[in-house]
Amino acid sequence: MAKKENNYYYDTFTKCISYACEATALLQSCVNNYDISALKTELDKMHVIEHTADGAKHEMMERLMKEFLPP
């Protein structure tokens, strides 16, 4: 029998919060150092952060559904 990860949800929430902080820092940098020529690159970076965070959230939600909802 596999050992349960006691801190999985806490660790995942922490990871998602770090993605939110990373996105906030990028947005602040974009606003403070606005450069229209670099906007596409910055948007691509933001999209990568958002996509990664969404993946972590979906993984956690799938696990939550399996562990806490009856079949």
Alpha-helical (H) ranges within the chain are 8-32, 39-68
The first and second tokens of residue 71, run together, are 């079949």
So what's the pLDDT on residue 49? 97
Specify the higher pLDDT residue, 23 or 70: 23
Whether the model clears a pTM of 0.75, i.e. scores above it, the answer is: yes
Give the CA-trace dihedral at 63, 67, 68, 71, to 10 degrees. 110
pLDDT per residue over 3-62, tens digit each? 566 889 999 999 999 999 999 999 999 999 999 999 999 999 999 999 999 999 999 999
* pLDDT reading at 1 higher than 50: no
